Amino acid sequence: MVLSKKKLEAEISGSFIKYQRELLGRGPQEAKTYIIQDMVIIRCKGVLTTEEKHLVSHDKGRILVKKMRQVLREMYSQEYEKIVENLTQCKVLCSHSDTSTKIGERIEVFIVDRDLEKILDE
């Protein structure tokens, strides 16, 4: 690995923001990546659109927004995993995601095939 842990985390964050802006026309306002052992965790802030913010103030709207976000994530999960694989040079074994409609954040968790943090510390 040529990148330091901090630089790789920043690269991953930037790539996720860029990909989502290209895909959806907008991305999170901010993203922060954390590499912890064999996990790559991305915390995206400011992910809800203005319309979604209005919808989540009602129960039916909240359920709708969560379901829509879940479907979109499933549609593009392979692309998200490819971003992580390309930047980390590790195989993604599985990934998980959830969106908080309370605070407008999304968490992405990728489990990779080795202790990436240990490799970066060498």
pLDDT digits (tens, 9 = 90+) for 82-95: 999 999 999 999 99
Banded model confidence at residue 3, pLDDT cuts 50, 70, 90 = confident
How would you list the strands of the sheet with 39-45, edge to edge? 30-36, 39-45, 105-112, 92-100
Distance CA 39, CA 35 (A): 6
C-alpha triplet 85, 92, 96: angle, nearest 5°: 115
pLDDT of residue 23: 82
Least Cα distance to 108 among 116, 99, 96 occurs for 96
Both ends of the chain: CA-CA distance in Å?
9
Take residue 119 and report the two structure tokens written for it: 């490799």
pTM for this model (two decimals): 0.91
Checking if the pLDDT of 1 tops 60, the result is no
Tens digit of each residue's pLDDT (9 = 90 or more) over 37-73:
999 999 999 999 999 999 999 999 999 999 999 999 9
Q: Is 28 helix (H, G, I), strand (E, B) or coil?
A: coil
CB atoms within 10 A of CB 92: 19
